Every structure is written in C-alpha cells, then in structure tokens.
Structure 1
C-alpha cells in the first residue's frame, strides 16, 4: 500500500475517533487549557499564526482572544478554492465561518496579507487529526498547510492542536511534500515537544 492509500485509511479512522472525542469534550475547559499552554511558548512580542476551529476541532477561540489580549498580533487563514491559504488579521470573538470555508473565497473588504505572511510569524499553530512521535502530521487531506508552511522562516516553531488521545505511537505514512511539526498541545493543556527545545 502506498502512502496516499495508507493516509486515507488512517484519516478515516482518525475522523471517526475525533467525532467521539469531540462529543465528550468540555469545550470551555479545553479552550482555556489550550490558550494557557500556547501563551507560555509564544516568543515575546511575536506575531502568531493560528486558525479558527471548526466544531469538532480543538477549540481555538479563547486562544486567539488570549493572544490578542497579551498584545500579540494574530493572523488566521482563509482557505481558497485551490486550497491555498490566504492570511488575514484575527479579531476578538472571531469564529470559523463554515460557509466561507465551503465557498473558498475571500469576503469583500477583508484585508489579505498574502501566503508569505507566515514568514513574519514567531509561532505557527496548525490543525491536525493526528501527529506521530517524529512530528509527522495528518490533516484533512487538502495539503493546505504542507504548502503554506514552506513560507515560514527556518526555525520558526510549528505546533499542532490535538484532542487527548489523537497522538500516534506508530509512524504515519509520509510523502515528500509533508511538513513536520515541532510539537503539539492537547485539549488538556499538555505540551509535547518533539523536535528541539520549546520556545518561551
């Protein structure tokens, strides 16, 4: 079985697992735990890339607000129709616009910063369904973040958010274009660093 087929099998299983984990999650407690942990590792004064979580993902609304309250500039992605990530400024209280995600367009009047905006960030927070012990991350299958992360500065830490129980002790299938993450934060606030030393 090739890596593409193997990924599809792992992804299907991960989605089923996530539905169960999300259904049982105390979202308020998880949101606070994620925010508290990520704030500890954000470099002082750094612009941070985050994302607006969808209903079954680890919640990021409190994280975005906490970063803004701490004086960090935060950028969040808009997924375009070709699965390119465009970046825009986050605002307090922002939530994911599911219709916009499905439509794949930039709303009129939105300030866009370009895909290369990741090069200005000191920390990048990404979604994922599962992460293994070497930092391989499996996403939803569009390749958005694997392409986007090529724009980051060398050495900029990348952290995935996971539900507790979504890390994998078995190595995930990898393709040449796959980008590794440096660590992950779980919905209990647990930080696991996989590559080098965590910042902060």
Structure 2
C-alpha cells in the first residue's frame, strides 16, 4: 500500500494537469451539488456551514461559497492558529483575504470564532481532501487541522454532517488509504459529478 504522502503527491501532480476551463467547470458543478447537499442537511432553511477556500489546483470552492450565501446560509471559513488548531471567520462578499502564517492557504480577515463555537453553530462541514477511499479514509493537506477539529466535535450532542470535497478521480477504491488512529473518516464526498456516499 502506498503511504499517505505518496498518494498526496500523486494526486497533486494529477491536479496540475487540469486546464483553467476544466477547473472552472468543476467549480460550477461543485457549487450546484453542494447547494443541494446543504439543502438536504438544513431541511431547506438557512443554516451555518463551514467551508474553505480552494486555491491553486485544489477543487475551486469560491462558487460554492457564493452560491451558499445566495441561498441565505451563513458561511464560516477557517483560519489556521498555532498548535494546528483553527478559528473561523464569517464570510461575506466584502471579505478580504491574506496569506496564512501557518499553512499554504489564503485566509479571511475578520472577527475570529473558536472551533468550539463554529462546530456548535454548523449544520454541515465542507472539508478539503486530496483523496478519499471507499472506506471513508481521507487524506488532507498534511497538517491535521481538520482531524483535530472533528476530534473536538466527536462527543458533541449534535455533530454536524461532514463532506469532503474532491475531484472525481480523487475518490479511490476501498483500502487504498492507510488509516491512522487520529484520522476522522467521512461518509460523503462532494465531486463535480455529484455526491458520493460511502459504505460506512
């Protein structure tokens, strides 16, 4: 079995082969399917969702963020903090971004909420992934931020639904990704082709 780092490197290399047109089309499709998922999660009512800003060759999520906002949902975006923890900032169309001091991502400027508050408020969590296998094992960017965030919500009375965001070919067969004790598996994946529900 390949290591997580080997899989992560291979998926990143594959992503670099996409054209700007393919990336833009993926963003539109992710927004369409993501809004549908959010409607199911929220029962059609306005709700809070945590999302992230996909950059470079990641699946583009800005169209999803904008579409969720247009549907009346509240959007929280992550900010990396020391100790591989996260805080959250509410997104609006006027939100500005700066480069993170701790991770290779752009982060929103604004009042920060703790992960505990964000987790309690959120109906659903859209989370980054470079790959997910059929067992729900997920490879993120390597920092462990989301695994720690989800671990902190594990004992919550009402844990938000989670969905990983990937390209279609980032969904791998069962057993492809080595699982570690601290990993937080997912049961759903948002891809440009639609929602993939895994067998857990």
Task: Answer whether TM exceeds 0.5 for this pair.
Answer: yes
Q: CA RMSD in A?
A: 2.7
Q: What is residue 157 of structure 1 aligned with on the other side?
A: 161
* 1:87-125 Cα distance to aligned partner (Å, 9 max, x none): 11012265764x225579xx8972011011122111100
- Displacement of 1:83 in angstroms is 2.1
Deviation at 1:41, TM superposition (A): 1.6
Partner residue in 2 for 1:142: 143
Q: What TM-score does the superposition give when structure 2 sets the normalisation length?
A: 0.83
Paired with 2:191 and 2:83, the residues of 1 have a C-alpha distance of 30
Which residue in the other structure is 1:77 paired with? 78
**Aligned positions, number:** 189
Greater share of strand residues, 1 or 2? Answer: 2
Structure 2: runs of 5+ lacking an equivalent: none
- Where does 1:12-51 land on structure 2 (aligned, <5 Å)? 12-20=9-17, 22-23=18-19, 26-42=22-38, 43=42, 44-51=45-52
**TM-superposition CA deviations, 1:112-152 (whole Å, max 9, x none):** 11011122111100000000011110011110100011233
TM-score, length-normalised on structure 1? 0.83
The CA deviation string for residues 57-114 of structure 1, in whole angstroms up to 9 with x for no partner, is 11111111111111101101011243211111012265764x225579xx89720110
Aligned equivalents of 1:57, 1:95: Cα separation in 2 = 20
